[in-house]
A and B are shown apart, each in its own frame.
Chain A
């Protein structure tokens, strides 16, 4: 267990950081990433400052202004309880981003662990991937709905259900990159130098498996936002009266004739978040995935 000299070469981080900075600047110059960044950035700001921006308490009933059309008092109108739609959409946006972020982090961590295990440890590959295949055999939304329903309606359970649903594909992508990278000459060279598995995985394989993972996680984020809305719409998401974009739409569905504005705004909020993330994801894929670069 001699303290590993190769493991602690001083100064290896500085060039890595410089490299990262350069990468980020290059990414920032990409037009898709800029456009998507503006759209999604606006949504993130709304979510962060929800308490400051929202003109009303999202759960405050106002029986004098039930189903009020959009106007001066309520910019986007009110629902059947007289609650301000704009405020509910703003808070719903925050909730859907929170669920999205939890799902992205959980999917990223679990997907990476399982992807590396299956890609690097041969005897684990087959059994673990069969489980992943089995999970992927369910139509995604349906599995998420069933899991969320079984676990019971809550923010955390929605995130768990979505993670179980989206993680297998992410694991498969990480595994794919690991399988390619592990055969690279520099990995062989590292092994020849006496580097042990942990170092090879952490310093050589993971960094090189990152780009496809980052692209995938951008899309997981956008799909998670859509799917959280579906769960709430179906009544198995975070329980009311907590405003979520999906349950506002579900409510709007009942008043589609009298008050079509209820369902309109939350859908637009979802669309802007998802569109922004998809545009960012396209840009990231263009600039990070060398196979598509020349297309």
Chain B
């Protein structure tokens, strides 16, 4: 097992390095003078110089990079220009909202995606198959932030079943939290649900065409046992790998959904920071989200070795 885990964890190092370089260079991409953008058009030369000095912008890019990396290794991503606090604190405070939204959406997408995919595969080429697959295709073609507005209109404005937005912490009021998170999680899950349903269906169909399935049927095994014990278990393997990638898509998608539903997560923090030109927050938020994504992928890869005995035992 160690032979699988150690190299996989080590492989994250170059990836995280590139992630940090891209994040650092983001600030350098900003056209014109960052200081004058922060200070506004009326700032005097002295004010600009003061801002540059405070942010270290008067130094060369190499010096800035050295300082930035030095702090990064100490776990310091700098100070927010606007919020007057450290970037790490600001991001970590918002993280639970984003992660719980992502997690809920992932669970919804997996559960419904699997049900739809299995139903479609079990009824291959029937109208049920066609209907579910058309639904899945439409689901993954809808812009999710727009679908969120449609849900808000029907379920919050017209029917009044859910709030139109806003957040209630889980610890304060679990029912309120669930109420606040239902529509956002459904919105975020929609696209990936379609993706999973299609993937499960084609993976199931591939398995159902295999010899071992025919053997199982031939020896008189009941249809549902063949479907769930044989085909589904093998069909799971390619789908699990997808979940790592999916987490990244959902984390990115959560940014947009947080804005639609006014949820105080990392996404809204970053978008707010973009509007205020609070670059350290943008950098820090981006870096931490990418790091989470990298580690989720490692976890999924390791999980994969547990599910697939071929990978678990022997290399080649």
The answer on a CB contact under 8 Å between B142 and A271 is yes
Min Cβ gap B28→A in Å is 9
The answer on a CB contact under 8 Å between B29 and A150 is yes
Count of chain B residues near A, Cβ 8 A: 51
Given contacts A134-B19, A146-B270, A270-B143, is CB(A233)–CB(B29) below 8 Å?
A: no
Main secondary structure, interface of A, reads helix
The answer on a CB contact under 8 Å between B31 and A138 is no
Min Cβ gap B238→A in Å is 13
User: Could you mark each residue 130-168 of chain A with 1 if its beta carbon is under 8 Å from any beta carbon of chain B, else 0?
Assistant: 110111011111110111011110000000000000000
Any A CB within 8 A of the CB of B114: no
The answer on a CB contact under 8 Å between B270 and A142 is yes
Select which of A149, A264, A270 is within 8 A of B274 by beta carbon: A149
Select which of A235, A236, A274 is within 8 A of B141 by beta carbon: A274
Given contacts A267-B143, A278-B141, is CB(A137)–CB(B293) below 8 Å?
A: yes
Given contacts A138-B22, A140-B248, is CB(A130)–CB(B143) below 8 Å?
A: no
User: Considering only CB atoms, which chain A residue lies closest to B137 in the complex?
Assistant: A278
Residue in A139, A230, A266, A282 whose Cβ sees the most chain B Cβ within 10 Å: A139
- B residues near A271, Cβ cutoff 8 Å: 138, 141-143, 146
User: Could you mark each residue 124-168 of chain B with 1 if its beta carbon is under 8 Å from any beta carbon of chain A, else 0?
Assistant: 000000000000011011110111011011000100000010000
- CA–CA, A233 and B22, complex, Å: 24
Select which of B18, B152, B255 is within 8 A of A142 by beta carbon: B255
Any A CB within 8 A of the CB of B26: yes
Any B CB within 8 A of the CB of A257: yes
Given contacts A137-B15, A137-B294, A267-B150, is CB(A233)–CB(B256) below 8 Å?
A: yes
- A residues near B62, Cβ cutoff 8 Å: none
Any A CB within 8 A of the CB of B78: no
Any B CB within 8 A of the CB of A222: yes
A-B contacts, 15 of them at CB < 8 A, read A134-B15, A134-B18, A137-B19, A139-B289, A142-B267, A143-B286, A234-B271, A249-B145, A252-B149, A253-B149, A256-B152, A260-B153, A263-B146, A271-B141, A274-B142
8 closest A-B pairs by beta carbon, nearest first, are A134-B18, A139-B252, A267-B146, A141-B252, A275-B141, A149-B274, A274-B141, A150-B29
